[in-house]
Amino acid sequence: MNNIPTLPNTPAVTGRSIIAGRPVSGAEGTHRSVQPVDGSALGPEFGFVGAAEVDRAARAALECFDAYRAVDDERRAAFLDAVADELEAMRPQLVERATAETGLPVGRIKGEVGRTGGQFRLFAREVRLGAFHGLRHDSALPERQPAPRSDIRQRRIPLGPVAVFGASNFPLAFSTAGGDTASALAAGCPVVVKGHSAHAGTAELAGQAIARAAARTGMPEGVFSVLFGSGSLVGQQLASHPAIAAIGFTGSQAAGTALMATAAARPRPIPVYAEMSSINPVLVTRDAIRADAAGEAAGFVGSLTLGSGQFCTNPGLVFVEATDEADAYLAEIREAVASSTGQTMLTASIRSAFDSGVERLHGAGATTHAEGEAGAGPNAPAPRTLLTHAATFAERPEMHEEVFGAAALVVVYRDEEELSRALSALGGQLTATLRMTEGERDLAFARRLLPQLERLAGRIIVNEWPTGVEVIDSMVHGGPFPATSDSRTTSVGTLAVERFLRPVAYQNLPESLLPAVFADPSLPRREDGALVVA
């Protein structure tokens, strides 16, 4: 027993994966994280795991599934609260490592630690509330004619082990300890995370926090693992492994659709909840520009350049009507962009993809509108805006693809019909934003446009900017493809737990066989057609 590896006594990056609560050294090659500020490598080396370790983690998750889903709500909620405690206790180590691995500022990472812990506390509250069980009951009608009706009850149960693929741009809140992991654990699903190699040290520290919390609260072994390895090997093996019942993913459209294809080709296909690509159109009315052209331009450029534009809700597309007001607005944008300086991007490959994306827009016919200054270091390209017309935009699908970073396309349209055609050419989006006044002309315009925006995006915003996702009950962070793989879901907010649940009906079961949740009078339910809340 003394030879069984254990987690370090204090949080420290060791370069090892964690399988069922135990650190594991991989032997399928090595990897070091790189500081994007200057390209220097960070220690220690991470040993990549292979097929045997992936199989071991997935099987451990499946073996503990029934035990974990049987854990009562209060104990499961206490586990989630304990994860938040552990994350907050290691804030100094997380901030130091994450800033080095991502180039993001200390204040941003400090806030992200708080948000990540807050997500776990939010789902702990949701578990205690109990609405996620989805209880329904229709009583027996033995005297009904022409045929009696049986007693039928319904609840939702967890799907099974979930494979989670973290994002590059949020090393905590959308990664190892992100919303996909938190919501899957809240649903009663064990989780196996594919750790992101760009911020492997941060991922390991977050994994240690979850593993410690699981041990501290007596959760079954296998409830959580985090693996470091080749994306093509570990990712595809997880997606095809028979023990995995669902996938949560945040990343590129290419990687997301590859996972979708693998999951669909399995003998028993599984759902993939992937957040992938969005350019988040912003529509600015002439009256909004007339009221404050400089303020509108400053707000847009501030949102565009925030975090080097590396937000999934980055406003990468602006529509403006061809008027004298638009000329003034474009001039204000040019001045604001020209005075901005590039910030370090997350990785050299992301910076390279940014350059390629800008060239793609140029190749499709967009022209340079404004360009700022490049920042220090190899991965801090200059922010920029490009310009095109709505008729061209509608015909050039190359213009509809995301450029991840501080670059945006400004589209000038002649009239509302041309705007509608351009919007119809777009794929699904996470957000759509209206910058408008409350004058009757703008309100009438918004009423006409709202049905199209509802079809287009998962979140519609008025007079705020899309870079800012509240972790609350009512948030939707999703949208039609390619924003996500399933427009019926969200990856942020308590509704996210429903991705990892399915309904089961119990017809004519004796009371002694019914799951215990049906006997709990404190749980909300639908009883014979009426909503009942304790």
Catalytic site residues? 275, 312
Q: Residue 479: CA atoms inside 13 Å, Cβ hemisphere, count?
A: 25
Q: Are residues 178 and 207 in contact, defined by beta-carbon separation less than 8 angstroms? A: no
Residue 350, beta-bridge partner list = none
Q: Read out DSSP for 385-446?
A: EEEEEHHHHHH-GGGGS---SSEEEEEEESSHHHHHHHHHHS--EEEEEEE--SSHHHHHHH
Q: Are residues 158 and 188 in contact, defined by beta-carbon separation less than 8 angstroms? A: yes
CB atoms within 10 A of CB 444: 10
Q: In what order do the strands lie in the sheet with 246-250?
A: 22-24, 17-19, 224-227, 191-194, 162-165, 246-250, 272-275
What is the Cα–Cα distance from 110 to 91, expressed in whole angstroms? 7
Q: Are residues 11 and 205 in contact, defined by beta-carbon separation less than 8 angstroms? A: yes
What is the Cα–Cα distance from 273 to 159, expressed in whole angstroms? 13
Q: How far is CA 349 from CA 162, 199, 404, in A?
A: 28, 14, 11
What is the Cα–Cα distance from 111 to 122, expressed in whole angstroms? 16
What is the Cα–Cα distance from 113 to 205, expressed in whole angstroms? 12
Burial class (CB in 10 A: 0-12, 13-18, 19+), 369: middle
What is the sign, positive or negative, of the torsion defined by CA atoms of 435, 441, 446, 452?
negative
For residue 146, cis peptide bond before it (omega within 30 degrees of 0): yes
Q: In what order do the strands lie in the sheet with 530-532?
A: 501-507, 152-158, 135-138, 525-527, 530-532
What is the Cα–Cα distance from 134 to 529, expressed in whole angstroms? 13
Spatial CA neighbour of 126 closest among 495, 526, 505: 495
Show contacts of 132-135: CB within 8 Å, 24+ apart. 132/156, 132/186, 132/187, 132/494, 132/497, 132/498, 132/501, 133/517, 133/523, 134/501, 134/503, 135/517, 135/518, 135/523, 135/524, 135/525, 135/526
Residue 192, beta-bridge partner list = 163, 225
Burial class (CB in 10 A: 0-12, 13-18, 19+), 472: exposed
